[in-house]
């Protein structure tokens, strides 16, 4: 059986937090153990569609994000890490695909629509503030995927409209030119979203409730001590409902089965105070982050190894994209070298 290619991308705009780890990282770790080719794109060009005025930030985070991904245990021998801007074929494909999608279709894309609404809220109601590049990033994302014949795309549910957009472009291309491109399928992680310690529905950088993989013990302590618990529990020995407590929610993510049971039983019985429970969570979280931070330290001390992983991966990825480009140009009858 032919192996299906896995492709995914991340915008290098900040460090990874626990939401990324449980939402996406665990899925990547599982996928790298399967035999499929796996491309992981550090989407610097896409990050610039949003942050073109802040190139230093994007530049810095290409390295930061790669280190975080290596720290969670992704193996460069199993995963091809590459930088989007190192693959000019992606930009080329984006131009070709831009004929296959209408402006109004992009404006109706639910993910883009939400992002535009957020921007308007932030910067006032000027339609002019939306750039051509930003509106077109789903087209460029379709190029990211198809440049490598990506068939399996592990993403969070917020990315589904972008996948659908890609599938539409693929169908249009295949019907106008020649059957050349494959339609990608998303695979969703079981927990696509984890709640914040503050009780909000999502952990996120912009929400200010993120626990980063690089957070040190004192930062973890501060964040966990502020977590929301059952508001009905006033005194230390009041029985409480762990199901509405964020401390218990996080115990379930990072603690052992046995300890989780203990937390639950004692909380319900009123034999566990919240302060103590938080202290145990801090210890469990530090324990959970320890191997990640140890690996991360190694890469911090060896930035040249990280750069080499990105360089080698980008070379390998470029080979694949070049092959794909030949097929695309042939289908579009712009393969002049042939004559
Ligand atoms: N849009 C994705 C995000 O914001 C990142 C991304 C870029 C991506 N290219 C991709 C995801 C290709 C999947 C496939 O997280």
The residue-averaged pLDDT of 97-120 equals: 92
Q: What percent of the chain stands above pLDDT 70?
A: 96
More confident residue, 121 or 231: 231
- Strand intervals (E) in the chain: 6-10, 38-42, 80-83, 152-155, 185-188
- Is 205 a member of any domain? no
- Same domain assignment for residues 118 and 225: no
Mutate to test the pocket of ligand 1, among 87, 144, 147 (most ligand atoms within 8 A of CB): 144
- Is 332 a member of any domain? yes
- Is 322 a member of any domain? yes
- Same domain assignment for residues 285 and 316: no
Supply 41's token pair.
């794109």
Supply 6's token pair.
């896995």
Ligand 1 pocket member 66 (CB < 6 A): no
- Same domain assignment for residues 102 and 25: yes
- Same domain assignment for residues 45 and 177: yes
- Is 166 a member of any domain? yes
Instruction: Output the residue whose Cα is nearest ligand 1's atom 10.
Output: 9
- CATH code, domain carrying 231: 1.10.240.10
Whether residue 226 is predicted with pLDDT greater than 80 in this model: the reply is yes
Instruction: Output the residue whose Cα is nearest ligand 1's atom 14.
Output: 8
Cα 8 to middle of ligand 1, angstroms:
6
- Same domain assignment for residues 263 and 120: no
Whether residue 180 is predicted with pLDDT greater than 60 in this model: the reply is yes
What does pLDDT average to over the chain? Answer: 93
Domain boundary among 296, 311, 328: 296
Cα 141 to middle of ligand 1, angstroms:
6
The residue-averaged pLDDT of 181-195 equals: 84
pLDDT tens, residue by residue, 248-275: 999 999 999 999 999 999 999 999 999 9
Whether residue 99 is predicted with pLDDT greater than 60 in this model: the reply is yes
Ligand 1 pocket member 46 (CB < 6 A): yes
- Same domain assignment for residues 86 and 234: no
Can you give the pLDDT at residue 339? 58
Whether residue 115 is predicted with pLDDT greater than 90 in this model: the reply is no
- Same domain assignment for residues 187 and 313: yes
Ligand 1 pocket member 41 (CB < 6 A): yes
Instruction: Output the residue whose Cα is nearest ligand 1's atom 6.
Output: 9
For residues 318 and 80, the answer to whether their CB atoms sit within 8 Å is no
The span from the first CA to the last CA of the chain, in angstroms, equals 36
Domains of the chain: total: 2
Ligand 1 pocket member 106 (CB < 6 A): no
Can you give the pLDDT at residue 123? 72
Q: What is the DSSP letter of 252?
A: H
Interstrand relation of 80-83 and 38-42 (parallel, antiparallel or unpaired): parallel
Cα 22 to middle of ligand 1, angstroms:
17
Q: What percent of the chain stands above pLDDT 90?
A: 82
Give dist(CA 289, CA 268) in Å, integer.
28
| pLDDT band of 205, cuts 50, 70, 90 | confident
Can you give the pLDDT at residue 1? 62
Instruction: Output the residue whose Cα is nearest ligand 1's atom 11.
Output: 9
Long-range contacts of 20-26 (CB under 8 A, 24+ apart): 21/72, 21/213, 22/189, 22/191, 22/194, 22/253, 23/156, 23/189, 23/191, 23/192, 23/193, 23/194, 24/154, 24/155, 24/156, 24/189, 25/69, 25/72, 26/189
Ligand 1 pocket member 10 (CB < 6 A): yes
Cα 94 to middle of ligand 1, angstroms:
14
Whether residue 203 is predicted with pLDDT greater than 90 in this model: the reply is no
Mutate to test the pocket of ligand 1, among 141, 186, 206 (most ligand atoms within 8 A of CB): 141
- Is 201 a member of any domain? no
- Is 132 a member of any domain? yes
- Same domain assignment for residues 101 and 248: no
- Same domain assignment for residues 138 and 263: no
Can you give the pLDDT at residue 241? 95
Give dist(CA 313, CA 204) in Å, integer.
29
The residue-averaged pLDDT of 107-115 equals: 91
Whether residue 192 is predicted with pLDDT greater than 70 in this model: the reply is no
| 207 phi/psi in degrees, rounded to 5 | -85, -10
Give dist(CA 141, CA 133) in Å, integer.
12
Q: Three-class SS of residue 152?
A: strand
Supply 111's token pair.
């993910």
Identify the domain containing residue 61 by its residue range.
6-195+303-338
Whether residue 327 is predicted with pLDDT greater than 90 in this model: the reply is yes
- CATH code, domain carrying 19: 3.40.50.620
Lowest-pLDDT choice from 88-97, 134-143, 151-160: 151-160
- Same domain assignment for residues 179 and 98: yes
Within its chain, how far is the Cα of 31 from the centroid? 14
| pLDDT band of 5, cuts 50, 70, 90 | very high
Q: Which residue has the tokens 């896995």?
A: 6
For residues 187 and 152, the answer to whether their CB atoms sit within 8 Å is yes
Cα 271 to middle of ligand 1, angstroms:
46
Supply 235's token pair.
């005194």
| pLDDT band of 190, cuts 50, 70, 90 | low
Ligand 1: atom nearest CA of 10 is: 5
More confident residue, 337 or 224: 224
Ligand 1 pocket member 153 (CB < 6 A): yes
- Is 1 a member of any domain? no
pLDDT tens, residue by residue, 7-37: 999 999 999 999 999 888 999 999 999 989 9
Whether residue 127 is predicted with pLDDT greater than 60 in this model: the reply is no
For residues 214 and 296, the answer to whether their CB atoms sit within 8 Å is yes
- Is 212 a member of any domain? no
Can you give the pLDDT at residue 208? 81
Q: Three-class SS of residue 133?
A: helix
- Same domain assignment for residues 134 and 224: no
Ligand 1 pocket member 141 (CB < 6 A): yes
Can you give the pLDDT at residue 94? 98
- Same domain assignment for residues 276 and 310: no
Highest-confidence segment of 11-15, 125-129, 190-194: 11-15
Cα 23 to middle of ligand 1, angstroms:
14
Give dist(CA 296, CA 67) in Å, integer.
6
């Amino acid at each position: 059986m032919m192996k299906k290619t896995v492709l995914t991308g991340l915008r290098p705009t900040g460090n990874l937090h626990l939401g990324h780890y449980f939402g996406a990282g665990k899925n990547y770790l599982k996928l790298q153990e399967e035999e499929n080719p796996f491309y992981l794109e550090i989407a610097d060009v896409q990050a610039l569609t949003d942050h073109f005025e802040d190139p230093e930030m994007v530049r810095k985070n290409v390295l930061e994000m790669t280190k975080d991904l290596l720290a969670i245990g992704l193996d460069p021998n199993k995963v091809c890490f590459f930088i989007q801007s190192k693959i000019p074929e992606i930009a080329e494909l984006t131009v070709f695909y831009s004929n296959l999608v209408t402006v109004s279709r992009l404006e109706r894309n639910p993910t883009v629509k939400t992002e535009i609404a957020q921007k308007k809220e932030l910067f006032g109601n000027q339609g002019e503030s939306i750039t051509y590049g930003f509106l077109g990033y789903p087209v460029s994302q379709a190029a990211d995927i198809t440049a490598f014949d990506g068939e399996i795309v592990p993403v969070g549910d917020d990315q589904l409209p972008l996948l659908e957009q890609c599938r539409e472009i693929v169908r249009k291309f295949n019907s106008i030119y020649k059957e050349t491109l494959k339609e990608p399928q998303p695979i969703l992680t079981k927990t696509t979203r984890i709640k914040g310690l503050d009780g909000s529905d999502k952990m996120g950088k912009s929400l200010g409730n993120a626990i980063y993989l690089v957070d040190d013990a004192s930062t973890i302590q501060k964040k966990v001590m502020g977590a929301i618990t059952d508001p009905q529990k006033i005194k230390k020995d009041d029985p409480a409902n762990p199901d509405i407590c964020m401390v218990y929610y996080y115990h379930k993510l990072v603690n052992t089965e046995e300890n989780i049971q203990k937390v639950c039983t004692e909380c319900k019985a009123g034999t566990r105070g919240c302060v103590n429970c938080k202290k145990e969570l801090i210890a469990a979280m530090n324990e959970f982050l320890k191997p990640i931070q140890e690996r991360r330290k190694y890469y911090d001390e060896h930035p040249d190894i990280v750069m080499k992983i990105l360089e080698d991966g980008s070379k390998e990825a470029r080979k694949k994209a070049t092959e794909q480009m030949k097929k695309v140009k042939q289908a579009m009858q712009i393969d002049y070298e042939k004559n």
